[in-house]
């Protein structure tokens, strides 16, 4: 009599148990890599709770509108900075770009130029200044930190060449539409900023050029061996950063109602902080549009809260520097 060769019931049970162990192991590893994100989310919730108990003004509609309007400049700069960071670079010249395009749009509109044409010229100038950075970085393989540090001073000089005194736009529509305009409870400037985020998300995740930019930060040599032009895509990333810096400059001048040549100092610090808080890894290899938006909102709320409690601006700069240092240290193993 032959022995029955039918598998015992324990065989599929062992397979399922092994699969479960494998899945749990991957889940634990993924959660282990994302603990920094969870820590920042928890910190943000704690901040909201502290704010709710310490301030009666923060959650009013007027103050929240101010938070949205004040976050627009950093929101646009951070979006451009994210694209550059994804390539493994950095752009320190965004602050002077904001000042240059802001004072140009104010000056041209005061001289009678149609407002749409003045804004278009400023956007082209922003792209051109970004192209200058991208050319030296991509073509000559120079360090982005050194190049943008040099152009930061050069662009700041151009601002004072154009005008060494503040300029007040004479066109009333300039402030009424962009700076003070509302659609329902939402500022027009904030809606413009928020509309840019899904566009950049689509570019980075669905467009071929955007995916190439992300891949360059992960492994530049592999991208080059795949036949993709690394030079062109780095060049493109800095032009995008310049475009968003120009948009930020135009909107900031419109919101303030005056363009000052000294504006923009330290704006690059805020943009880098928002990207790093949102998960971007300095040196390339990580970052997301949604995370950057969360970083912008967090910094906007922190700035507003510190202003409500009359904390001096230099203490705020110290606090932002500490945030960047802590975030970089926390993500040092993710790359």
DSSP annotation of 179 = I
Give the pLDDT confidence score for residue 30 in this predicted structure.
Answer: 53
How many whole angstroms from its chain centre is CA 199? 13
Can you give the residue ranges of every domain in the chain? 72-264
Helix (H, G, I), strand (E, B) or coil at 259: strand
Q: What are the tokens at 13?
A: 């049970």
User: How far is the C-alpha of 223 from the C-alpha of 139, rounded, in Å?
Assistant: 16
**pLDDT of res. 285:** 77
Say how far apart CA 271 and CA 275 lie, in whole Å.
Answer: 6
pLDDT tens per residue, range 160-181: 999 999 999 888 888 888 888 8
| 187, β-bridge pairs | 182
CA distance 60 to 47: 17
- The answer, yes or no, to whether residue 11 has pLDDT greater than 70, is no
Spatial neighbors of 180 by CB under 8 A, at least 6 apart, are 255
On the question of pLDDT at 3 being above 50, the answer is: no
Mean pLDDT for all residues in the chain: 87
Does residue 291 surpass a pLDDT of 70?
Answer: yes
Contact 106, 258 (CB under 8 A): yes
Q: Give the phi and the psi of residue 256 in degrees, each rounded to 5.
A: -80, -25
Q: Is 294 or 154 the better-scoring residue by pLDDT?
A: 154
Residue 18: which pLDDT band, with cuts at 50, 70 and 90? low
Average confidence (pLDDT) over 259-265: 93
pLDDT score, position 173: 81
For the cut 70, the answer to whether the pLDDT of residue 59 exceeds it is: yes
Whether the pLDDT of residue 60 is over 80: the answer is: yes
Q: Which residues contact 307 (CB under 8 A, 6 or more apart)?
A: none
Weakest mean pLDDT among 80-84, 180-184, 221-225, 270-274: 180-184
């Amino acid at each position: 009599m032959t022995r029955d060769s039918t598998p015992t019931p324990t065989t599929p049970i062992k397979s399922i148990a092994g699969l479960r162990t494998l899945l749990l192991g991957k889940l634990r590893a993924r959660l282990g890599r994302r603990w920094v994100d969870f820590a920042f989310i928890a910190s943000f919730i704690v901040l909201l709770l502290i704010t709710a108990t310490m301030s009666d003004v923060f959650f009013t509609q007027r103050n929240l509108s101010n938070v949205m309007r004040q976050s627009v400049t950093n929101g646009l700069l951070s979006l451009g900075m994210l694209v550059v960071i994804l390539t493994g670079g950095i752009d320190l010249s965004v602050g002077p770009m904001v000042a240059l395009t802001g004072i140009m749009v104010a000056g041209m509109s005061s001289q009678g130029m149609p407002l749409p044409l003045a804004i278009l010229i400023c956007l082209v100038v922003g792209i051109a200044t970004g192209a200058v950075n991208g050319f030296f970085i991509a073509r000559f393989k120079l360090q982005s930190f050194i190049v943008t540090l040099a152009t930061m001073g050069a662009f700041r000089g151009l601002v004072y060449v154009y005008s060494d005194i503040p300029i007040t736009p004479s066109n009333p529509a300039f402030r009424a539409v962009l700076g003070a305009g509302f659609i329902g409870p939402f500022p027009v400037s904030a809606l413009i900023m928020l509309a840019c985020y899904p566009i950049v998300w689509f570019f980075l995740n669905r467009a071929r050029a955007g995916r190439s930019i992300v891949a360059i930060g992960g492994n530049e040599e592999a991208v080059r061996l795949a036949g993709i032009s690394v030079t062109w895509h780095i060049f493109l990333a800095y032009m995008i950063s310049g475009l968003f810096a120009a948009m930020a400059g135009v909107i900031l001048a419109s919101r303030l109602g005056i363009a000052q040549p000294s504006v923009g100092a330290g704006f690059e610090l805020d943009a880098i902080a928002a990207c790093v808080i949102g998960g971007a890894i300095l040196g390339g290899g990580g970052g997301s549009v949604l995370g950057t938006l969360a970083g912008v909102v967090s910094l906007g709320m922190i700035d507003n809260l510190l202003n409500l409690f009359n904390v001096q601006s230099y203490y705020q700069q110290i606090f932002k520097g500490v945030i960047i240092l802590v975030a970089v240290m926390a993500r040092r193993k993710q790359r």
